[in-house]
Amino acid sequence: MRPLRLLIAALATGLLFTLTANPAHASGWGAPQSLNSLSSWNVVSGRWTANNELETYTPNCVWYDGSTLMIKTYNAGGGVYYSGRVESKALYGYGTYSFTASMPSGNGLLPAVWGAYLNPWLPEMDAAEIIGSQPNTAYQTYHDPSNNQTQWAVNNFSGWTNAFHTYSFTWWPDHIDFSVDGAFTGTKWYTIASGVGMHFIIDTAVGGDWPGNPDSSTWATGDGARYLKVSAVTYTPYIP
């Protein structure tokens, strides 16, 4: 009887898997595309006040060092903080959005690697945001078109900042999967109207509602600046 019990259990397990597994996606993947030069980006210029932030974005704070995108953030004095922000010129669809980034720490900083439709702003998919005073936690968030939010806090007791990690999300037609360093962190099921796309976005915000304001310790570095470094940005299209 034991083999019969095992067979029945195996069949039951297979049925359960069939009922609960994610829907199959009988389609394919396109070739990975890399955003690896300034020609890939719109570089933002101007004062940014959303969320009561303090930074002024300037192209002077954005450049490539070899294949690594550099974003510099510093205190110019007199309440003026300069930083960098880039947004991909192209709009992308379903697929995997991946950023290999070394995020800066520091009170009052909010480095982020993410995607958004931009026109209109939402939906938004944040591969990672790190509050500079909380370097052990990376936040991954989905904002739907009404700005309802689903968020995961991914903890690393060794800290996420000042070291390279890969933050990713995969956008499917009916859900989004998040991961860090290739490890799955969460799924959000949703409905988004057709015609929506995502721009890649990379920036470091200064001050504001979430991270709070910087202080003297924020700029206590050799050159008085903090750097967001992104060594790889890739998009691998999913073709439904």
pLDDT in tens, the chain (240 residues): 334 333 333 333 333 333 333 444 446 999 999 999 999 999 999 999 999 999 999 999 999 999 999 999 999 999 999 999 999 999 999 999 999 999 999 999 999 999 999 999 999 999 999 999 999 999 999 999 999 999 999 999 999 999 999 999 999 999 999 999 999 999 999 877 778 999 999 999 999 999 999 999 999 999 999 999 999 999 999 998
Query: What is the spatial distance between Cα 215 and Cα 201, in angstroms, rounded to a whole number?
Result: 26
- Cα 232–Cα 161–Cα 154 angle in degrees, nearest 5: 90
User: What does the alpha-carbon distance between residue 179 and residue 160 come to, in Å, rounded to a whole number?
Assistant: 14
What 3-state DSSP class applies to 201? strand
Q: If you ran DSSP here, which 8-state letter would residue 24 be given?
A: P
